[in-house]
Amino acid sequence: MYFDTHAHLDDRAFDADRAEMLRQIREAGVKLVIDPGCEPESCRKAAALSEAYDWIYFAAGIHPEELESDTPEALEETAVLAAHPKCVAIGEIGLDYYWDDRHREEQKALFRRQIALALERELPVIVHDREAHGDCLEIIRGYPELRGVFHCFSGSAEMAEELLRRGWYLGFDGPVTYKNARKTPEVLAICPLDRILLETDSPYLSPVPRRGRRNDPGNLRYICERIAELKGTTPQTVAAAALKNGCELFGIRIPARNGEAG
């Protein structure tokens, strides 16, 4: 059984065939999915999906690329959505200097405000960190009680070690299957199975051999197989560990073999 802890099922890329895609991924063994919002509209759509499907959960947050949504009204709506019974995290939040390194201070301020919301609601966070490893880590150090996952982890083994010591989880996505994934084997060598989460970031970051096509949670098996290869274990062991880890971090009951999450 697979748990995709990061898939943007609300994305417009799925508008034409979303119901059929969801049916197919269930048949492929995907038992749970978290849809992280990126701004108010996507958060509302993710919440609606979670209400329509008992095996889908969501996270509410404002992505660092969505600074135009950094308004009192949007933050208030995020806080309201955070109280939804199927909201299991604050995310996707964090820092992204790849697309925009001119508004670093604004990104940091938004990140901190949403961390405060997570702590107030006693929720974990889903952190987006792209080309901002040092600043992300510095901010996290200021909140020792905070827990969550670094989505699509791309930092060094040294950064991973510190996050693991602090009780954080690391998310692994399609890039783990890419030939140029140099850091990932080093990170996985030190990351224990009980701190690994499986993610697709659908519809983005399709893994090999699906690279270049629209991604969906049904491709989680390719990521799982590659991690198992690097860890010297079986895909079944990785999938079971990641399922347990995700349920523990996000407070979700592990589904029965032929049942649903509660």
The model's pLDDT over 204-256, given as tens digits with 9 standing for 90+, comes to 999 999 999 999 999 999 999 999 999 999 999 999 999 999 999 999 998 87
Question: What pLDDT is recorded for position 121?
Answer: 97
Nearest to 46 by CA among 96, 93, 97, 6: 6
Domains of the chain: total: 1
How many angstroms separate the CA atoms of 172 and 225, rounded?
A: 12
How many angstroms separate the CA atoms of 188 and 184, rounded?
A: 6
User: Within a 10 A sphere around the Cβ of 256, how many other Cβ atoms?
Assistant: 11
- 156 belongs to a structural domain: yes
Mean pLDDT of 171-179: 97
Domain of residue 200, CATH code: 3.20.20.140
- 214 belongs to a structural domain: yes
Question: What pLDDT is recorded for position 255?
Answer: 82
- 259 belongs to a structural domain: no
The model's pLDDT over 103-157, given as tens digits with 9 standing for 90+, comes to 999 999 999 999 999 999 999 999 999 999 999 999 999 999 999 999 999 999 9
- 260 belongs to a structural domain: no
CB 156 within 8 A of CB 133: yes
- 255 belongs to a structural domain: no
Mean pLDDT of 51-59: 98
Q: Which residues of 125-161 are buried (b: 16+ CB within 10 A; e: fewer)?
A: bbbbbbebbebbbebbeeeeebbbbbbbbbbeeebbe
User: Binning pLDDT at 50, 70 and 90, where does residue 258 land?
Assistant: low
- 147 belongs to a structural domain: yes
The model's pLDDT over 2-51, given as tens digits with 9 standing for 90+, comes to 999 999 999 999 999 999 999 999 999 999 999 999 999 999 999 999 99
Does the pLDDT at position 185 exceed 70? Answer: yes
- 258 belongs to a structural domain: no
Question: Angle at CA 259, nearest 5°, toward 257 and 261?
Answer: 105
User: Binning pLDDT at 50, 70 and 90, where does residue 197 land?
Assistant: very high
Mean pLDDT of 57-67: 97
- 11 belongs to a structural domain: yes
Question: What pLDDT is recorded for position 262?
Answer: 40
Average pLDDT, the chain: 96
The boundaries of the domain holding residue 137 are 2-250
